[in-house]
Structure formats: C-alpha cells, structure tokens
Amino acid sequence: MHAEAFLRHLSLIKRYSEKTVTAYATDLQQFSDYLLNQFGSDSPDTATNSQVKSWLVAVLRSGLSPKTVNRKKSSLRAYYRYLQKEGFIISNPVSRLKLAQTPVLLPRSIPQKPLESALEARFEAERPECTQTFEGKRNQLIIMLLYGAGIRREELVNLKVKDFDSAKGVIKVFGKRKKERLVPVPEKVVALIEEWLETLSPTSQESPLIVTQKGAKIYPMLVHRVVHDFLTLVQEAESKSPHAFRHSFATHLLNQGADLNAVKELLGHSSLAATQVYTNLSVERLLEVYHHFHPRS
C-alpha cells in the first residue's frame, strides 16, 4: 500500500493542513480494516468498485451523515487519482461512484443591527473599562478582527507582528493550504492594532500578533471562549462560534451591495461557488424588505 507516500504528497506538495491529512489517513485506515474483515485483504490498492461501494454503504448505514460519507469518498478518490498518476494502478474504482445527497445548509450570520449594538455596548458605551486591561484590549482586538476582516479562527491565531501593515491598513493572512492573501481592515481596527502593539512591545517581527497574558500565542479554545462570551450579548445570534463572524462579514458586505468576486477574494475562497452560498442569505434579506415595504407584496 502506498498510503504513506500519498499522505506525504498531501502534506508537502498539496500543502493540506495537518487536520485534513489526518482525516485522509483515518479514512484510508478504516477502509483497509473493512477490506480485511470482509474480504481478507487489507490493501486498498487492489480494491474493486464493488468493494468500495460496499464499504460506503456500510458507512452510511452506520448512521454517519451523507456529508461525512462524501468526505470519506473524496479521500478514496484522491488516493486512487494519486495511484493512477504515479502509475501504480490502471483504473480508478471510485471514478463512477456518485456522491450522496446532502442538504444545503446556509451559514448562520448575525443580524447586522443587533451586532453593531452589541459592539457599541461592550466596547464603547456601557463598559469602556473592559478595554483598558491587557485582557480587555486583546479580547476586543479578537472580536474586531474576526468581524472586521472576516478571517478564520486559525488565520487569526497564526497572525504575526510582521503580517500587519499599518501604512496600507492591511493584514497578510495565510489561509487554507497556506494560500496567502492581503485583507484590508477598518480604520478603527488599524488603530486598535497600533495601540495593542504599543501595549505588547514585541521583541521580534516574527512574534505572534495576539498573545496570552504569559506572552504565548493564543489558541483556538481561547478565541472560542472570547467570542462566545461576547455573543451572549446578541440574542439574535443563533451561532456563537468564531465562524459566525466570518459568515456575518460576507453577508453584511453583500447586503450593502458588495461585488461577489471581491467578497470571494476577501474570504480567500478558491472558487466562486463557495462564496455564492451567501447570496442566498442576501436574497432572503431582499425578500424581507420587499414584503415589509412594498404596498402590493
């Protein structure tokens, strides 16, 4: 089996994240175990179309969601494409298998007005003292960067001091597969970062931009706690995860008339299809306005 070489290919050539490579490795191991238990061979390299289909049916019947089944199917598809490209196999046993039907789940964004009210209440009007401490300044910056730049939690955690360009008002972000992009940030956020850096006094441009009180790089669970605490102020927020800010960033831009391609670049999406899901939310908003204000609606 050429699984180890395939996983190295994903990590070093394709530059997949460690989490994704681990998921592919798990899927291949589970498929190998199934082949051994059912057919007496633990090598996916020689598996047939019917054996692949048999495993996927078993996985689906085990109660896993169609989305998870599709992920496992994609893992096998990528593996067999790699084997074909390297000349280890002639035909791909997954090539004719269709993906399972999955419902389209729209991202849950936060309504704009309640979100703006919460930002003002927490950081400007009622509790300005919460932004005067080290922790308060850091937490404010976390919230404002997630919403103001629409970046992912992992992208936020990995920001370095050198990634902030004060003169241009942008941050350099490394997204999925380490794809680099420049994201503009609002003037208020630029000022917050400048003030934060004065507080932080970093010794190196390679230092993490946002740190704990002990000076270590922040971690995902800390970001989650900060966001969850803040979003308790917003009753209308269905999701209280960091990703809710990214959804809101995109939806609010589109609601204000932003170009879809521009939003795609800001989000760092590789294809327009990934961004188009937000247009459904914008259409819902347009229909809401229409039915509320049009006399013949």
**Long-range own/partner contacts, residues 176-183 (CB < 8 A, 24 or more apart):** 176/17, 176/268, 176/270, 177/14, 177/15, 177/16, 177/17, 178/15, 179/268, 179/270, 181/265, 181/268, 183/149, 183/150, 183/151, 183/266
- Identified catalytic residue from 2, 53, 81, 176: 176
Tally the C-alpha atoms within 13 A of residue 209's C-alpha that lie toward its C-beta.
24
Q: Are 72 and 56 in contact (CB under 8 A)?
A: yes
- Identified catalytic residue from 108, 224, 240, 269: 269
- Identified catalytic residue from 152, 160, 252, 264: 152
- Identified catalytic residue from 71, 172, 243, 285: 243
- The CA-atom distances, in angstroms, between 209 and each of 155, 212, 218, 254 are 11, 10, 9, 29
Does the annotation mark 291 as catalytic?
Answer: no
- Identified catalytic residue from 72, 77, 138, 246: 246
Helix (H), strand (E) at residue 165? strand 164-165
Gap between the Cα atoms of 140 and 120, Å rounded: 11
Does the annotation mark 162 as catalytic?
Answer: no
Q: Are 247 and 152 in contact (CB under 8 A)?
A: no
Does the annotation mark 292 as catalytic?
Answer: no
- 140: closest CA among 115, 119, 159, 114? 119
Gap between the Cα atoms of 8 and 44, Å rounded: 17
Does the annotation mark 152 as catalytic?
Answer: yes
Does the annotation mark 269 as catalytic?
Answer: yes
Does the annotation mark 243 as catalytic?
Answer: yes
**CB neighbour list of residue 114: distance below 8 Å, 6 or more residues apart:** 234, 235, 236, 237
DSSP codes joined into one string, 109-139:
PPPHHHHHHHHHHHHTSS-GGGGSSHHHHHH
Catalytic residues, which ones?
A: 152, 176, 243, 246, 269, 278
